[in-house]
């Protein structure tokens, strides 16, 4: 069971005199604000009632079991021909969900910044999957395999996330669901391989809280949320869900903390299991989706209808495709229908919105997705679809563009009669070429065409023939957002050219004064 003390009450009652301390002997404290206690089997509820009568106990709850019900229907490889359109992933034509949410038009604005991290709190992620291995988050402060907690975050060798089931730093997926969800949100895309993901750029932080049978526990869930928010995730995708939940506080606390840190938390609205001996009502609150500060995502089908399995209630915020959604399964490929896979689209879209404007709060990101959603079902917000089915293109286009470029400190070129300096690059790490342009104030500065998706860049080079003569010349490059609404814009980059007949005349004095290293 999980237990939290009210320290103020404990102090008032002079600690041990409450009788609580002896009861806690052997308790495990994990920095979550509550404790995990072992109780003899069968005495759980009795013990909880006893503890709740103690004024020093803020809450005492069973360590509830959560679950991930989904298993994929496996499909054979068809050897599909890569289409001539972008993205070129061969299974893209069977991903009805992506054109449905207008992902291709969203990808004209951004294919997703590498800086946005989605924590997949699920069964782990296949760390060696060819479509995911380059997308896995790496903890910058941790050295692998030295049995030292280098970044002092409480977890030894957590180089690519953490496994809360087996308590180790290699959150390898032994069930499959986390890998499936990660593929929907952020598979390697336009690589002529398998499927496309919603955000081509987002990093995946694997946080394993689900065991090899598809089950998780409240303790693992709370710990996983805390880990993700403390270690740089921007979005937390919560897969496991539960309906018979008495007191959600042990989960609400870490969710509140994550939200206060600027993290968006996303979960499927829930899918009652028809095989369950006591299935919940189709409008029952399921958790964590129904907690505060969690975006509760319902599923839609190809016709924007409401599939029967998708829980509907007044906590549903938004809807996304959730029927026959393709992703990776057991080393191959398959489909799943559930609200959890619907939620993976919202996690991916939030990563795209945050790419266009990294300064937004999680509430702002949620509001943008809801305001731009397509109203389906009954007019206005309704319990089946919340604010509607997500429209990725409308969402990224409604986002105020926060223009970022690299470098912003300026360029220095050295030119002589028998040498040309190599071109430099101005890079926009977050959005595509369609969102920005660059111009120069001097005819001797050449600004190349913009190239690439996110990141996108232009080459800057010098036309020696157009320089007005030997000496020092300066000009300014102006970078402007071309999106309807923008901030941090325009940006200017100074460019300086030293033009001389022979470069050694410039290099030699610099070498003698030891300044070349700075140039
Ligand atoms: Ca660590
Ligand atoms: Ca280490
Ligand atoms: Ca792919
Ligand atoms: Ca509606």
* Secondary structure (DSSP) of 320-338: EE-SSEEEEETTEEEEE-S
Tell me the Cα Rg of the chain.
Answer: 27
Residue 505 is predicted with a pLDDT of: 59
Cα-Cα-Cα-Cα torsion 429, 265, 343, 248, nearest 10 degrees, comes to: 170
Closest ligand relative to 157 C-alpha? 2
Residue whose entry in the numeric block shows the structure tokens 């928010």: 229
Question: Which is it for strands 235-238 and 117-122: parallel, antiparallel or unpaired?
Answer: parallel
Closest ligand relative to 88 C-alpha? 3
Average pLDDT of the segment spanning 209-219: 93
Q: Is the pLDDT of residue 497 over 50?
A: yes
User: What is the spatial distance between Cα 280 and Cα 498, in angstroms, rounded to a whole number?
Assistant: 75
Task: Report CA(239)–ligand 3 centroid distance (Å).
Answer: 22
Residue 4's pLDDT band (boundaries 50, 70, 90)?
Answer: low
Task: Report CA(436)–ligand 3 centroid distance (Å).
Answer: 27
CB 319 within 8 A of CB 390: yes
Selection from 205, 193, 237 nearest residue 91 by Cα: 193
Selection from 220, 195, 182 nearest residue 344 by Cα: 182
User: What is the spatial distance between Cα 113 and Cα 454, in angstroms, rounded to a whole number?
Assistant: 6
Task: Report CA(168)–ligand 1 centroid distance (Å).
Answer: 11
3-state secondary structure at position 23 = helix
Closest ligand relative to 146 C-alpha? 2
Q: In this predicted model, which residue has the larger pLDDT, 243 or 436? A: 436
User: What is the spatial distance between Cα 342 and Cα 268, in angstroms, rounded to a whole number?
Assistant: 7
Closest ligand relative to 190 C-alpha? 3
Average pLDDT along the chain? 88
Average pLDDT of the segment spanning 120-124: 98
What DSSP designation does 484 have? Answer: S
Between helix 218-230 and helix 249-260 the angle, nearest 10°, is 10
Supply φ then ψ for residue 337, to 5 degrees. -115, 115
Q: Is the pLDDT of residue 288 over 70?
A: yes
Average pLDDT of the segment spanning 124-148: 97
User: What is the spatial distance between Cα 490 and Cα 189, in angstroms, rounded to a whole number?
Assistant: 31
User: What is the spatial distance between Cα 108 and Cα 393, in angstroms, rounded to a whole number?
Assistant: 9
Task: Report CA(143)–ligand 2 centroid distance (Å).
Answer: 4
The H-or-E segment that residue 341 falls in is helix 339-356
Task: Report CA(453)–ligand 3 centroid distance (Å).
Answer: 15
Average pLDDT of the segment spanning 341-358: 98
Closest ligand relative to 95 C-alpha? 3
Task: Report CA(163)–ligand 1 centroid distance (Å).
Answer: 12
Supply φ then ψ for residue 225, to 5 degrees. -65, -45
Task: Report CA(379)–ligand 4 centroid distance (Å).
Answer: 4
Closest ligand relative to 135 C-alpha? 3
Residue 54's pLDDT band (boundaries 50, 70, 90)?
Answer: confident
Task: Report CA(18)–ligand 1 centroid distance (Å).
Answer: 37
DSSP class per residue in 53-64: TSTTEEEEE--P
User: What is the spatial distance between Cα 225 and Cα 219, in angstroms, rounded to a whole number?
Assistant: 10
User: What is the spatial distance between Cα 36 and Cα 96, in angstroms, rounded to a whole number?
Assistant: 44
Task: Report CA(216)–ligand 1 centroid distance (Å).
Answer: 23
What DSSP designation does 462 have? Answer: E
User: What is the spatial distance between Cα 347 and Cα 216, in angstroms, rounded to a whole number?
Assistant: 20
CB 244 within 8 A of CB 22: no
Task: Report CA(144)–ligand 2 centroid distance (Å).
Answer: 5
Task: Report CA(384)–ligand 4 centroid distance (Å).
Answer: 8
Structural domains in the chain, CATH included, are: 2-63 (no CATH), 83-399 (3.40.50.200), 402-518 (2.60.40.10)
Task: Report CA(84)–ligand 3 centroid distance (Å).
Answer: 15
Structure tokens of 203? 């990093």
420-468 pLDDT per residue, tens: 888 999 999 999 999 999 999 999 999 999 998 999 999 999 999 999 9
Selection from 152, 203, 212, 168 nearest residue 182 by Cα: 203
Q: Is the pLDDT of residue 74 over 70?
A: no
Closest ligand relative to 141 C-alpha? 1
Q: In this predicted model, which residue has the larger pLDDT, 83 or 50? A: 50
Residue 21's pLDDT band (boundaries 50, 70, 90)?
Answer: very low
Using a 10 angstrom Cβ sphere, with 0-12 exposed, 13-18 middle and 19 or more buried, the burial of residue 398 is middle
Closest ligand relative to 306 C-alpha? 4
Residue 301 is predicted with a pLDDT of: 98
Task: Report CA(130)–ligand 3 centroid distance (Å).
Answer: 9
Taking residue 148's Cβ as centre, other Cβ atoms within 10 Å add up to 11
Task: Report CA(163)–ligand 2 centroid distance (Å).
Answer: 15
Task: Report CA(102)–ligand 4 centroid distance (Å).
Answer: 19
Closest ligand relative to 158 C-alpha? 1
Residue 62 is predicted with a pLDDT of: 81
pTM recorded for the entire structure: 0.87
Task: Report CA(152)–ligand 2 centroid distance (Å).
Answer: 9
Residue 36's pLDDT band (boundaries 50, 70, 90)?
Answer: confident
CB 347 within 8 A of CB 392: no
Q: Under 8 Å CB-to-CB from 517, ≥6 apart: which residues? A: none
Task: Report CA(375)–ligand 4 centroid distance (Å).
Answer: 5
Residue 460 is predicted with a pLDDT of: 96
Average pLDDT of the segment spanning 37-52: 82
User: What is the spatial distance between Cα 281 and Cα 243, in angstroms, rounded to a whole number?
Assistant: 10
What DSSP designation does 450 have? Answer: P
Residue 11's pLDDT band (boundaries 50, 70, 90)?
Answer: very low
User: What is the spatial distance between Cα 48 and Cα 79, in angstroms, rounded to a whole number?
Assistant: 57
Task: Report CA(127)–ligand 3 centroid distance (Å).
Answer: 15
């Amino acid at each position: 069971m999980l237990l939290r003390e009210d320290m103020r009450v404990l102090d008032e009652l002079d600690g041990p005199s409450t009788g609580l301390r002896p009861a806690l002997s052997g308790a495990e404290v994990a920095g979550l604000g509550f404790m995990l206690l072992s109780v003899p089997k069968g005495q759980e509820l009795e013990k909880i009632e006893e503890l709740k009568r103690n004024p020093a106990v803020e809450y005492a709850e069973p360590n509830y079991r959560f679950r991930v019900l989904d298993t994929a229907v496996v499909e054979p490889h068809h050897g599909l021909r890569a289409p001539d359109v972008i993205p070129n992933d061969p299974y893209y034509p069977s991903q009805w969900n992506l054109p449905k949410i207008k992902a291709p038009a969203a990808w004209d604005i951004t294919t997703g910044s590498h800086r946005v991290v989605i924590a997949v709190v699920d069964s782990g992620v296949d760390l060696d999957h060819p479509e995911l291995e380059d997308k896995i988050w790496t903890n910058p402060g941790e050295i692998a395999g030295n049995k030292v907690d280098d970044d002092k975050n409480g977890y030894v060798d957590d180089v690519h996330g953490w496994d809360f089931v087996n308590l180790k730093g290699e959150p390898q997926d032994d069930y499959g669901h986390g890998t499936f969800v990660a593929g929907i949100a952020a598979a390697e895309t336009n690589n002529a391989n398998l499927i496309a993901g919603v955000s081509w750029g987002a990093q995946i932080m694997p946080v394993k809280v689900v065991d090899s049978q598809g089950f998780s526990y409240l303790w693992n869930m709370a710990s996983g949320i805390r880990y993700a928010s403390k270690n740089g995730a921007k979005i937390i995708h919560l897969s496991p869900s539960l309906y018979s939940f008495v007191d959600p506080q042990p989960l609400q606390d870490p969710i509140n903390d994550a939200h206060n840190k600027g993290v968006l938390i996303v979960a499927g609205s829930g899918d009652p299991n028809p095989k369950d001996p006591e299935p919940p009502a189709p409008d029952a609150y399921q958790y964590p989706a129904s907690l505060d500060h969690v975006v509760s995502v319902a599923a839609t089908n190809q016709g924007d209808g409401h599939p029967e399995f998708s829980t509907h209630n007044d906590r549903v915020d938004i809807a996304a495709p959730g029927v026959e959604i393709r992703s990776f399964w057991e080393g191959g490929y398959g489909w799943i229908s559930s609200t959890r896979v619907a939620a993976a689209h919202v996690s991916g879209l939030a990563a795209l919105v945050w790419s266009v404007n990294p300064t937004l709060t999680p509430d702002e990101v949620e509001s943008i997705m809801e305001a731009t959603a397509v109203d389906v079902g009954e007019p206005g917000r309704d319990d089946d679809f919340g604010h509607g089915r997500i429209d990725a293109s409308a969402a990224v286009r409604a986002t105020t563009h926060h223009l970022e470029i690299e470098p912003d400190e300026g360029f220095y070129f050295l030119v002589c009669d028998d040498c040309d300096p190599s071109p430099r690059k101005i890079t926009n790490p977050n959005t595509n070429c369609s969102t920005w342009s660059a111009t120069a104030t001097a005819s001797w500065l050449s600004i190349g065409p913009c190239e690439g998706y996110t990141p996108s860049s232009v080459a800057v080079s010098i036309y020696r023939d157009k320089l007005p003569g030997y000496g020092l010349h300066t000009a300014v490059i102006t970078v402007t957002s071309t999106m309807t609404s923008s901030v941090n814009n325009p940006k200017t980059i100074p460019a300086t050219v030293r033009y001389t007949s022979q470069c050694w005349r410039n290099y030699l004095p610099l070498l003698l004064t030891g300044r070349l290293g700075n140039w």
